Chain A
């Protein structure tokens, strides 16, 4: 069942409280050691930085898309907040000619923050649509460039619109009526950000986003629409950044275009990277570590400092420690981590997950009951005909077709280059056919996208094994299950834990997919596909790389999984022993077209098939 109260709500809340306590506590401790306004300011800035970095983490960590634009959103929020919250008297001095009559607006800071968040989120939606159109995938350069464009546009606008922003040199400088005299709002915002960040990561949307981050194609094949989840992550992340930016402006009492540009982007990204971009705990750690490091660099650069009565003086090494050492420190940290530890200090380790594992250690989870077999719906039909696919001048498929009923196992064989994989790619929405059509249960789905096809009941596995490596066995299967509960409601949806048990993976349920051996990895892929309660399981070379014995075992596993969820099976493989052992009917392909259809015995005895496999003799 989802969400699991312990794992997805209780412990994340607890973890957020603890992280809040640790960070705030560290700040209080620091201020006790180094009294004075400078220390106080340092900690306040650190807390606000943490809010912003948490916001960025929600997007970058969960989607894997590198964004240079979040500080641009911060600028949008910051300026909106400032212009709204500054009293009309102050505005008359700085920006008397503000457009839209803003110079006369008098708003409380609370309302101003709310509006700033809304404006920034609106901008996020617009940018998100742009990112979706350009097909943002984890790592794609063009997505990052679009976010960079946002950063530059906001910078340019704020520099060149003095009526609104006070321009480049003067900026906005103001006491906002009712200064930030307690840290209460900051503490509140920090705690809130932690909670939102953790709860999002554990939520349905967060999990689907992470799946897409791990393997975009596999996620789509399991019915996930990455673009939707990335949009959700973006808007939530921008909302958090907007709050942080507004507080930052409030605290500073001044706002210049430079404040929200490259330098701040570097700072926040380094903090995120150092801690570990895939974890909220990492983000907090990164903020703390980099704040400490920067401060150390700054002090050493100036004139040394004293701690516990011991003086540390950088003077003799003055030529190294100069002012502006901070930026070098940040840049070197970025480089160092990218070269030697790109996953950061904590990778994706979360404090509350560790706590839960320890505290609940003595409460064993009972092994689930075996699942009853489900009778496959024999009336379910997948039908493809006259499929043609051409890559440039090369005809990969000519008049290819396939017919499978819900209850049967259909095998597809043929030598390399025969077109088998192309056909599978067509019926899973990865390659559009230039001619022909295919339908599921009578409904034409020739132009449907991969995730739509998965939701309609065609789920595939991959020859190259595409698991969500960083996720556990249970979390892998959970992704499909989440989709099934939303989109496969007419079917019997198997319980996740029971399915894992049926797949023989119970003892590995909380291990990461990347740690499984090959056989178990294949089992997991099969279980993950089955969890979607598909009408048809489409297996692409499931015995690839297996020994003969393992291939024979695979026959049983496939039959068992299919029976557990009542799915028909379509399987491609080169291992003829496996295919003939498992199939009710076989399609034999060669040179892009079907050359034989029949029972395993019929097809094996077919001379054309034999010739296709062994190669024709000279001149034949």
Chain B
């Protein structure tokens, strides 16, 4: 029982980060039908910025906003340079474009920085734990979960209560009709990428705090988690993406603790197999957005 609770909290902690990543992926998919394989690169970029800042002696109070700003900036830059040129193209083209962007960005870091791991110091409290009864809870997990909840609430507020959010939702639902209302395609797509960058930045802060390092290929893992979680939830749905993130986090933790020892290292592989099975039997993901009746 204790172990289960422990797993639950660990899973929620991981799941929170995945939820943020997944949301970032889903937002872009909603407006552009593009599955962003370059999403992880936003964290790579921020990671290098964090490394540079850390070397200059910056504290994490400064590094945190830096990471977020870098993620947003990188997201907008990538949209400008690459994705804006393939709007409206076939799914095939969009997928390969984002694949290509992923490689170019990570290769640029390979070229101009180095392949070696760059480490930077993590805030002292990252490994602290506190006890609640017989549970040992990581301070880190707690903060992650709280910040994620706040972020999700803020994002919900943004989407539901602001005109920008309204425009984004309308564009995701029916891009042409949104334009008929006067919504500008450029504005809404850039806004989506900015939002996606913001979410990646917040997730990145925690990811980097946890890892304390960055490499040119650091982006692959968060990208995969984000993409997979978004797919689990059902690509059309933002709520689904968040749900998918938590499901993925919990699944990872539970599998790791339950799988027989020989197979445990294959946890990731097992997760993939489960996801592939999900796709085979339920291609629309976990959440079929219960669309209100067609009129």
Contact = CB atoms under 8 A, between A and B. Distances in A.
Interface string A328-340: 1011111100110
A331 B103 contact: yes
Given A145-B231, A149-B272, A153-B272, A138 B92 contact: yes
Nearest to B108: A328
Interface string A160-203: 11000000000000000000000000000000000000000000
Interface stretch (A87-95, A319-327, A545-553, A590-598): A319-327
Contacts of B89: 338, 342
Interface in A141-169: 141-142, 144-146, 149-150, 152-153, 156-157, 160-161
Contacts of A262: 220
Interface string B266-295: 101100110111011101000000000111
Given A146-B276, A156-B272, A331-B104, A134 B283 contact: yes
Contacts of A393: 293
A335 B101 contact: yes
A327 B110 contact: yes
Interface string B220-255: 100010000001000100000000000000000000
Interface residues of B, dominant DSSP: helix
Interface string B87-106: 00111110111011111101
A64 interface: yes
B82 interface: yes
B112 interface: yes
Nearest to A155: B269
Nearest to A394: B294
A338 B96 contact: yes
Contact of B281 (A64, A133, A328): A133
A392 B293 CA distance: 6
B266 A157 contact: yes
Contacts of A134: 279-280, 283
Nearest to B103: A331
Contacts of A269: 96, 99
Interface in A245-270: 262, 266, 269
A334 B103 contact: yes
A66 interface: yes
A414 B100 CA distance: 50
Contact of B268 (A144, A152, A331): A152
A558 B149 CA distance: 64
B69 interface: no
A553 to B, nearest CB: 35
A273 B96 CA distance: 9
Nearest to B275: A149
A374 interface: no
B93 A342 contact: yes
Contacts of A161: 266
B35 interface: yes
A100 interface: no
A330 B108 CA distance: 12
Nearest to A330: B103
A323 B97 CA distance: 23
A581 interface: no
Given A66-B92, A339-B85, A324 B107 contact: yes
Nearest to B96: A338
A152 B96 contact: no
A64 B90 CA distance: 11
Contact of A324 (B35, B101, B111, B280): B111
Contacts of A324: 107, 110-111, 115
A160 B293 contact: no
A335 B268 contact: no
B264 to A, nearest CB: 9
B265 interface: yes
Given A328-B108, A338-B86, A139 B92 contact: yes
Given A156-B272, A330-B103, A339 B96 contact: no
Contacts of B265: 160
A140 interface: yes
A130 interface: yes
A242 B9 CA distance: 44
A391 interface: yes
A325 B107 CA distance: 8
A327 B86 CA distance: 22
Q: Which of B82, B91, B107, B265 has the most CB of A within 10 A?
A: B107
A322 B280 contact: no
Interface in A348-396: 391-394
A490 B85 CA distance: 53
A323 B102 CA distance: 18
Nearest to B282: A134
A141 B35 contact: yes
A144 B110 contact: no
Contacts of A615: none
Nearest to A392: B293
A135 interface: yes
Q: Which of A138, A139, A323, A324 has the most CB of B within 10 A?
A: A324
Contact of B279 (A139, A146, A328, A333): A146
29 contacts: A64-B92, A66-B92, A134-B283, A141-B35, A144-B95, A145-B276, A145-B279, A149-B272, A152-B224, A153-B273, A156-B268, A160-B269, A262-B220, A322-B112, A324-B110, A327-B106, A328-B104, A330-B103, A331-B101, A331-B104, A332-B100, A332-B104, A334-B99, A334-B100, A335-B97, A335-B100, A338-B89, A339-B97, A342-B90
Closest 4 CB pairs of A and B: A156-B269, A334-B100, A331-B103, A331-B104
Given A149-B276, A328-B103, 15 more contacts: A130-B276, A134-B279, A135-B283, A142-B279, A146-B280, A149-B272, A152-B224, A266-B99, A328-B111, A331-B103, A334-B96, A338-B93, A339-B82, A394-B293, A394-B295
